[in-house]
Structure 1
């Protein structure tokens, strides 16, 4: 008999519900509904009602599961308005927690009712992306239990130009940046970190498991059903640029395999969302030369097709850009050339140049010709050190996955 929701869609059975139920406190009173601030009076009764349904029977089924699902929808819809009423930085944490509870109760209702799992996983991802941690990060723990029960994606043929297929045409520009193989901490500190000089490091991530495991096919298998934010458009300065939530499989189908248009998975939370990927990388040892703690290091994922571009911009922290597969053409300009790079005057884009560095308008930006640059083609296994405030322009030459580490 086919699983509910159609062939090929994994659904929850009694054994999975028992595993999921073990993540929660043993009794209703122990499942606290603590919020970090006040919310409107109607919200807490909804949360308590959902909690009661969850504990009303050994496994909420039938009408109980449907009611729990509806309450999850109501909590998400109500808090969604609060999340979108103004700037994100002004959203109160309590409303993000309410949204997370709505996602949690909704996902639990899906599993309890034995429904196909992709919707439960999507709810977990939405809560992880937009909510705030509740119940000892219950959403992250729940999705880790559900992940092994998701259907494996079918293997995809590598697109032309991918790391698994033929290489794209070579990028323009000389390879000018210095290269260094496994320097000591002292040598890197004295010759590159302190004087703030960029350098390509080789051999320092060869031991990462991702160097042998990761591919487009692997991401489909491990994370195909996971929902992530995707940037749509060739570069974030384009007028048509936008963002959209979609599953990793949909992203790969539309933007990697079929190349309908340009889209880029640029994610600051991917490794928190999907711990299986985080286990395949390590923080470079050279980050210990910084002033902060390991928890202060921001790890970013950059996954996209050939042709995606990061316009010339600068970041407020030191950056190690590690190339896992595919190649990237990169140009670097010193902060001393900032005036020749014509940063945008608006506050939101003040760290981004107005100049298209590979096709500059020298009538509009005449001083750009004065700016000297270094360039390289970053190959798989190489790590580029980009000093703080150094301007950098990046263009993907293949289907590419990079990991960056921002540290102080």
Structure 2
């Protein structure tokens, strides 16, 4: 390819690299517009619990941002990035000493500022947008709100600049195999007539309250969420598109009582690729619950609080609301009274909402790739 023979020719030419720089400059301008216009307005007020050396680092990062040099210049950007990493690493240690409730909020704010300064460096160097969003999410999950929740507003800007690519044929094949494996190993339980949870179509709030909520009787509500946009929009591909690069807390494992059960932070795309979690332990909550089925089907059993003795709750305080019994394959030698436990059951399908009264034991198993939305209240 011949080079342009004049400055005018170079100005008129276009290349992927040039387009990327242009897009990066547009992103930086959009993000920069969210910041206070003057350095003095980006206040760094902390209690005496935050060491002066840390405040000095925060001020240094702020000065680099508002100084005569630009974050778009390599030297300034690299220095700011190094300072940001030090702030993040040091405050991370503070967040992980002792129990979470004892973490001082100022240290959570320090962590958020470290994430903010790092994000600004990443935006100015045309970094990967998905990686930049991940840093924002870590600030939101582990930090505290700063500058009128600026990390949320930055994510909104970043997502507008994010290009969603289609999955490759290989990825589609892997997904199809995963679905086939799940379906091949899924048995659909039969629900006897005496076990069926009653159904109710679009009841009035008063009727629901008087006949089901107050007397604490389970019921399946139909026709109440048909107007929700998610009933028409949600799919795996849609969730990948709107949230695939977001970082979320995930509970990994089939049961809370299993040794391999854990909690972790994970990108939504990775969660979809690696896990479709069936939480098939049985437990209860100290609140009412509306369990709204959006995608796929779930098999659900409900046991009233009167059956608690027959369900063999764990004796430890932390698991007192979780049964020791494997509901669909119980050890009746070890748990003989479980055979006497009466229950109601259903196969919940998209658009149905199950009302689970307070302290009702519930067992849930996915029959398909499925997503649900739950609401709790006291």
TM range (shorter): 0.7 to 0.9
* Residues 34-59 of structure 1: CA deviation (Å, up to 9, x unaligned): 34773222211111111111111474
Write the distance in 1 (CA, Å) between the matches of 2:223 and 2:48: 49
Q: Deviations over 1:273-294 (max 9, x none)?
A: xxxxxxxxxxxxxxxxxxxxxx
1:27 paired residue number: 38
Match of 1:15 in 2: 26
Distance in 1 of aligned mates of 2:374 and 2:317 = 24
Using the TM superposition, give the Cα deviation of residue 209 of structure 1 relative to its aligned residue in structure 2, in angstroms: 0.6
Query: Larger Cα Rg: Structure 1 or Structure 2?
Result: 2
1:297-342 deviation per Cα after TM superposition (whole angstroms, max 9, x unaligned): xxxxxxx35xx12411111211111111011111111112112211
1:39 partnered with 2:36: no
| Deviations, residues 124-172 of structure 1 (Å, cap 9, x unaligned) | 0111111111111111111111012122142464636869x98954234
1:333 corresponds to which residue? 303
Give the equivalent residue in structure 2 for 1:354.
324
Q: Please give the alpha-carbon distance, in whole angstroms, between the structure 2 residues aligned to 1:346 and 1:391.
A: 17
Could you tell me how far apart the structure 1 residues matched to 2:218 and 2:56 are? Answer: 56
Q: TM-score scaled by structure 2?
A: 0.87
Q: Which moved more, 1:43-52 or 1:234-243?
A: 234-243
Tell me how far apart the structure 1 counterparts of residues 114 and 288 of structure 2 sit (CA, whole Å).
38
**Is 1:120 aligned to 2:150, yes or no?**
no
2:282 to 302, 312, 337: 312
Q: TM-score, with normalisation over the residues of structure 1?
A: 0.81
Q: Look up the match of 1:50.
A: 61
Greater shift after overlay, 178-187 or 65-74? 65-74
Quote the offset at 1:11 in angstroms: 9.3
> Aligned-pair distance for 1:16?
1.4
Q: Which residue of 1 aligns with 2:6?
A: none
Q: CA RMSD in A?
A: 2.4
Partner of 1:159: 176
- On the 8 A contact 2:183/2:367 being kept in 1, the answer is no
Question: After superposition, what is the alpha-carbon deviation per residue over 1:333-373, rounded to whole angstroms, capped at 9, x for unaligned?
Answer: 11121122111112221111111111111111122122111
Distance 1:407 1:36 in 2: 36
In 2, Cα distance between the equivalents of 1:71 and 1:80?
14
Aligned to 1:264: none
Q: Higher helix share goes to which structure? A: 2
Equivalent of 1:364 in 331, 334, 342: 334
Name the SS of the counterpart of 1:42 in structure 2: helix
| 1:63 alignment partner, one of 75, 83, 89 | 75
1:172–1:239 distance in 2 versus 1, CA, 3 Å: farther
Mean CA deviation greater in 236-245 or 44-53: 236-245
Matched residue of 1:95: which SS? helix
Q: Which residue of 1 aligns with 2:151?
A: 139
In 2, the alpha carbon distance for the partners of 1:43 and 1:125 equals: 22
| Cα 1:209–1:10 shift into 2, 3 Å | farther
CA drift of 1:254 comes to 2.3
- Partner residue of 2:102? 90
Q: Is the 8 A contact 2:254 2:281 kept in 1?
A: no
Q: Does the 8 Å contact 1:37/1:93 carry over to 2?
A: no
Tell me the distance in 2 between the aligned counterparts of 1:212 and 1:59.
46
For the residues of structure 2 that align with 1:76 and 1:345, how far apart are their CA atoms? 40
Partner of 1:402: 372
Q: Could you tell me how far apart the structure 2 residues matched to 1:90 and 1:203 are?
A: 45
Distance 1:232 1:55, change over 3 A: same
Distance 1:371 1:161, change over 3 A: farther
Q: Structure 2, unaligned stretches of length 5 or more? A: 1-14
In the alignment, the residues of structure 1 paired with residue 161 and residue 21 of structure 2 have an alpha-carbon distance, to the nearest angstrom, of 7
Per the alignment, residue 239 of structure 2 pairs with 219
Secondary structure at the counterpart of residue 159 of structure 1: helix
Per-residue CA deviations over 1:354-407 (Å, capped at 9, x if unaligned) read 111111111111221221110111100111111111111111111111110111
1:326–1:398 Cα contact (<8 Å) kept = yes
Other structure's SS at 1:19 match: helix
SS at match of 2:227: coil
Match of 2:212 among 188, 192, 195: 192
Aligned length: 353
- What is the CA–CA distance in structure 2 between the aligned matches of 1:12 and 1:133, rounded to whole Å? 28
Q: Deviations over 1:247-297 (max 9, x none)?
A: 212222223xxxxxxxxxxxxxxxxxxxxxxxxxxxxxxxxxxxxxxxxxx
Aligned counterparts of 2:68 and 2:307: Cα–Cα separation in 1: 67
Determine if contact 2:92/2:111 at 8 Å carries over to the other structure. Answer: yes
